[in-house]
Structure 1
C-alpha cells in the first residue's frame, strides 16, 4: 500500500508553520482526530451530557473504540482497559499483582522512569529489582537474559523500543523465554503501537500498554492497557470507583468487574477515548504495515544524512535493522539545547533532554541528547532542511 503523503499532510494544520520531527514525545493529531473530539464536546455543550439517548450513544461509542483497540493489537475487548497514559498502566500492574518477599523483577538498563521506578518502589515490600545490562547495541542478549533469570524472578518489564536509543527489542523471543521460566512479561509499547504491527497473542505477553499520543497520533489523555484474560482477576485494582466495582450495599461487600474494565474506576475521559478511536481508524486507513515500511525508509535516510555532520555522535544500535525512527545524537562543541532551539527558530521541531532515561545518559557520560523521531507524514525533504540547519551551527 502506497502512502498518500499529500492527503495526509492536508490533515495537518501544523505544517503551515512547522516541520514536526518529534513523534517520540507526542505526535501532531490529524484533523479527523480533532474533529471526533470537538464534535462530541460541541454536542455535549449543546444538549448537556446526560440526555438519556445521547449518554447511551456515547457509551456505545466507547465500547466500539474498545473493540477497535483490541483488534489493533490482536486482543479481545474484555482484555482492554482505557488509561490516560502509559505510566498509570504500569502502576496498575506493579501495584495490582500479589508480591512475596524475595520476588524479583527484571527491567532493562535502557528503561525510562515510568517503567523503572514503579518496580523500584516494590523494594519496600521486599521485592528485588534487577537491572539487566543490554549489549553495546542496546539490545537484549537472550542467552545472557536466560542466565539472569532465577527461580525467584516473577516479572520481566521492558520497553519494546527505547525512547532514548531507538533499539527495538526482540519482544517475542523475550516473552517466549519468560514463558519457559514461568515468568510474567510486561511490554511498554508506547513507542511501537501505531508504528509497527502488534499482535499480543503472537508476542505471547501477559501485559502490554501504550499511550495514544505518540505513534497512533491520538490525543493526550488516551491510552490502553492489555491484560491477558486469565490474569485479569489476579490483579487487584489500586483505584476503586463506580466504573470498576460492584457494590453489595446490604451485605457491606463489593467485588470488581471480571474484565479489564476493573482498571477504569470512574468517569471515562470521553473526548480522549473518542479521539483515540479516530486515530486508530486513521492509522488503519493508511495501513500499519505501510507506516512501518515508510518509517524504515525515513530512518535509514536520516541516519545517512546525520553522518554527514562534522562532530556528530549518534546513539543507539549500529545496525539500522535494530532501530526505528528514534535517533538520539549530540554534536561535539554544541549543546543539544542550542541545536533544538536553533531548529525551532526556523520552524523545525525536535527535542533535547534526558528523556527520563538516566541510565542511558550515564552509560554515555552525557547530561542530555538531542533526538529526531520522524513519522510517516514526514518527508526526505524535511529531513534535508533539518540537516542543513544543523550544519549552519558548525
Structure 2
C-alpha cells in the first residue's frame, strides 16, 4: 500500500471502492462524499429558503478563487463554462484568425478539440495535423518544423485520453512565446491529477471540464484566459459579459464593450450546484496535495507496468515517468476483454489501443495487484493479449 497518501481516509470519501474495482477515472471519477454533501446542502437551501442567491453568488467567487489558486492564476483570469468542448470552442472563436491562417494540432488528439478549430475552415482557416506515436510525447521540436508565418495557434491536450502521453507543454509554451503564437491547451485529463501551473506552462488559453480530476459531476467547466490578451473577444454577448451592464435591464446599443477579464466569456446563469460542489472538491484536492496525487498515480503506474512485464502484456503508451500520468492502455483486444472485466466488477474503458486503466487518488497498490491477478487468470485459461505480446 502506498505511503504517499493517507489512503484509507481518502477511500472513505469514495464508497464506490467498497462495491467495485474502479479503474476508470479518465472517463469520470466517482462522486466523493464531500461533493455529495455539498450538493445536498445546495438542494436543501433551494428547497427550504427558496434560493439564497447572494450567498450562492459569493460561493461562485470562492470557487473561482479556488480554481485560480490550483492553476497559479489570478481569479480575474478564470471563467466558468459547461465543459471542455465549450471552452475550446470559445477559444477557437476568440482568437483573431483570418483566411489563410494556420492552426497546428496533434493527429489523434481528442476530436472535440479538433472540431472546434476545423469549424473555422468555413472562414478559410487551415488546420494541420502533426503525427506523434502513442509511446512518444510532443515537445517544441515536434511543432517547430511546421511553423511558418501563417501559423497562429497550437492546440493540444496536456495528457491524452487514448494513450496517456504527458506532452511537454512548457517547451511548447516557450516556443509559442518566441514565435508570437497562441497556445490553447485541453487539461481535462491532467487538472486535479498533475500540477498545472499556467505561468510555467506558458499557455494563452486553458480549458477543462470538472468531472474527472476535479471530482464534480458533469455540466461544469473551467476556462483560463491569460490577462492582457484583450484581442481575444467573445463570440456571444450577454449582460454578464459586459463591462457596464445596464442596471435597469434595458439594452444599450451604444455600450457593448465587454469586460476586460475572463468574465467576458461567461454568459447566462451559472451551474450553481456544481460550483458549490467544486469548492468542496478543490478543498479535498488541495488538502491532499496535487503533487502527492501525481506521485501516487505514478507509483501505481510503476507497479502496473512491472505486472504487465511479468504477464507479457504490452503497454500502448509511454513508459517513462516524466512522459506519463494516470492513464495506461493495455494491448488487450476490447472485444475479448471488456466483458470479462465487467463481469468481475472492474470498471475500465475500451480504447482505440485496447483496454484503458486509469487511476485516481483513491486507488491502491492492492487494486493494481487485483487487476493483474484477473488478467493472469484469463491468460492461464488460454486467452491471449493482442498480436504484439512482447513489452517494449
Q: TM-score, structure 2 length as denominator? A: 0.90
Q: How many residue pairs align between the two structures?
A: 372
Q: Which moved more, 1:56-65 or 1:254-263?
A: 254-263
SS at match of 1:243: helix
Post-superposition CA distance 1:115-159 (Å, at most 9, x none): 111111111111110111225633125334222111110000011
CA distance, structure 1, for counterparts of residue 131 and residue 75 of structure 2: 35
Match among 365, 370, 373 for residue 385 of structure 1: 370
Q: Which residue of 2 aligns with 1:234?
A: 231
Match among 45, 69, 72 for residue 71 of structure 1: 69
Q: Which moved more, 1:23-32 or 1:129-138?
A: 129-138
CA distance, structure 1, for counterparts of residue 368 and residue 335 of structure 2: 19
User: How far off its partner does 1:338 sit?
Assistant: 3.7
Whether 2:360 is the aligned partner of 1:375: answer yes
User: How far off its partner does 1:21 sit?
Assistant: 0.6
CA distance, structure 2, for counterparts of residue 294 and residue 190 of structure 1: 19
8 Å Cα contact 2:103-2:125 kept in structure 1: yes
8 Å Cα contact 2:134-2:165 kept in structure 1: no
CA distance, structure 1, for counterparts of residue 188 and residue 33 of structure 2: 22
Q: Which residue of 2 aligns with 1:168?
A: 166
8 Å Cα contact 1:340-1:349 kept in structure 2: no
Post-superposition CA distance 1:257-300 (Å, at most 9, x none): 22211222101000111111111110001011111111110011
CA distance, structure 2, for counterparts of residue 280 and residue 230 of structure 1: 27
Match among 143, 153, 156 for residue 155 of structure 1: 153
8 Å Cα contact 1:138-1:165 kept in structure 2: no
8 Å Cα contact 1:162-1:168 kept in structure 2: yes
Alignment of 1:295-334 (within 5 A): 295-310=297-312, 312-331=313-332
CA distance, structure 1, for counterparts of residue 233 and residue 335 of structure 2: 43
8 Å Cα contact 2:59-2:275 kept in structure 1: no
Q: Which residue of 2 aligns with 1:97?
A: 95
* Structure 2 unpaired stretches of 5+: 384-392
SS at match of 2:184: strand
Q: TM-score, structure 1 length as denominator? A: 0.90
Alignment of 1:97-246 (within 5 A): 97-135=95-133, 137-231=135-229, 233-245=230-242, 246=244
Whether 2:2 is the aligned partner of 1:5: answer no
8 Å Cα contact 2:317-2:328 kept in structure 1: yes
SS at match of 1:130: strand
CA distance, structure 2, for counterparts of residue 196 and residue 5 of structure 1: 18
CA distance, structure 1, for counterparts of residue 113 and residue 42 of structure 2: 33
Q: Which residue of 1 aligns with 2:36?
A: 34
C-alpha change, 1:250 and 1:211, in structure 2 (3 Å) is: closer
CA distance, structure 1, for counterparts of residue 139 and residue 199 of structure 2: 23
CA distance, structure 2, for counterparts of residue 215 and residue 106 of structure 1: 27
User: How far off its partner does 1:308 sit?
Assistant: 2.9
User: How far off its partner does 1:185 sit?
Assistant: 0.3
C-alpha change, 1:175 and 1:250, in structure 2 (3 Å) is: closer
C-alpha change, 1:256 and 1:304, in structure 2 (3 Å) is: same
Whether 2:79 is the aligned partner of 1:81: answer yes
Q: CA RMSD in A?
A: 1.8
User: How far off its partner does 1:163 sit?
Assistant: 0.7
Alignment of 1:26-65 (within 5 A): 26-49=28-51, 54-65=52-63
CA distance, structure 1, for counterparts of residue 46 and residue 186 of structure 2: 34
